[in-house]
Amino acid sequence: MTSLNKPRVLIFAPVMDSLTEKLEQQFSIEKYFEHDDPQAFLAKNGQGIVGVVTRGDVGVNNGVLEHLTDLKVISVFGVGTDSIDLKYAADKKIQVEITEGVLTDDVADMALALLLATARNICQADKFVRDGQWLNGGFPLSTKISGKRLGIFGMGQIGQAIARRASGFDMSIAYASNHEKPELPYQFVADIKQLAKQVDVLVIAVSGGAQSAGIIDQSIFSALPDSAIVINISRGSVINQNDLIHALQNKQIAGAGLDVFAEEPQVPHELIAMPNVVLQPHVGSATHETRQAMSEKVLANLHKHLD
């Protein structure tokens, strides 16, 4: 196919170089972020663009979509659709495809890594050795995780993968979710506040978006025991970040492990200053293997609708 008759695809947000190269080979590509005035470019050239590629953490806004009158598919590099207006897409008969399934393991692994790192002070202890402090005496005691009570907010694929891993640590598992999944061997607690009252660790694994925005707020932090650890691998928007900072500063909870934040890549200095908080730069799915699988899925999802 010459570039003239290849389907036209807009890359809305930068993706991995290797994926960009494949997109350039297989489609006629426009890069939104490379135009000085991308809206003017789209107003003139948006017609005929049939595919959009974007990232889960970025999505795409309606101001862009309204110029793409021939759009058939938005192929998301990720599983989050919280930054896409799904109703608008459905009304315009635009398919929204995600890289479902392939990042579940990595994100669940990250949840456990954050949990262990936070409870066992892994980052602080690493620094302790590197700084030569061990020569002056031992490192303070940390908190046991095996056998503790885990609460998972959100029992989709990622929540379930976290539960399976935590079972290997002999943790008792309860969850709050839109609805009970009776086929799962975990305790369902209808109310997130009730769940908070009965756990040692709360892991946020629910989808982002309006329906979950700010649900983990002061009322949940007060319900958790003051020894509790909160882990978030889903979206920063689910936690009221100011309430989290307040809860940590006032020792309402013992620590937090966070891969996601309210306004990435901005991380509040209060969180950076706290040694009982482990911070990651939204890398839950960021392994070579998974990003490769995600790339392949992004391409397959485009071809499914455009070939």
Size of the chain in residues: 307
Considering the complex, what minimum distance in angstroms separates the CB of residue 93 from ligand 8YV?
Answer: 23
Stretch that binds ligand 8YV, among 76-84, 134-142, 167-175, 268-276 (CB under 6 A): 76-84
The alpha helices in the chain, defined as continuous H runs, are 17-26, 38-45, 62-65, 86-91, 104-119, 122-130, 157-167, 192-197, 218-223, 241-249, 269-272, 288-306
Kindly name the residue from 264, 270, 303, 305 that is annotated as catalytic.
264
Spell out a b/e string for 67-93, using b for 16 or more CB atoms within 10 Å of the CB, else e: bbeebbbbbbbbbbbbbbbeeebeeee
Is residue 35 annotated as part of the catalytic site, yes or no?
no
Q: For the CA atoms of the chain, what is the radius of gyration?
A: 22
Stretch that binds ligand 8YV, among 77-85, 156-164, 236-244, 250-258 (CB under 6 A): 77-85
List binders of ligand 8YV among 134-173 (CB under 6 A). Answer: none
Is residue 8 annotated as part of the catalytic site, yes or no?
no
Among 8, 55, 67, 148, binds ligand 8YV (CB under 6 A): 55
Task: Please report whether residue 19 would count as binding ligand 8YV according to CB under 6 A.
Answer: no
CA dist 272 and 307 (Å) reads 48
Structure-token pair, residue 224: 């958790």
What does the per-residue mask of binding to ligand 8YV show for 239-278, with x meaning CB under 6 A?
A: ----------------------------------------
Q: Are 235 and 258 in contact (CB under 8 A)?
A: no
What does the per-residue mask of binding to ligand 8YV show for 87-126, with x meaning CB under 6 A?
A: ----------------x-----------------------
How many residues bind to ligand 8YV according to rule CB under 6 A? 11
List binders of ligand 8YV among 278-307 (CB under 6 A). Answer: 282, 284-285
CA dist 144 and 223 (Å) reads 21
Among 42, 50, 71, 79, binds ligand 8YV (CB under 6 A): 79
Residues 6+ apart with CB under 8 A from 25: none
- Active site residues per annotation: 235, 264, 282
- The residues that touch ligand 8YV, with contacts defined as CB under 6 A, are 55-57, 77-80, 103, 282, 284-285
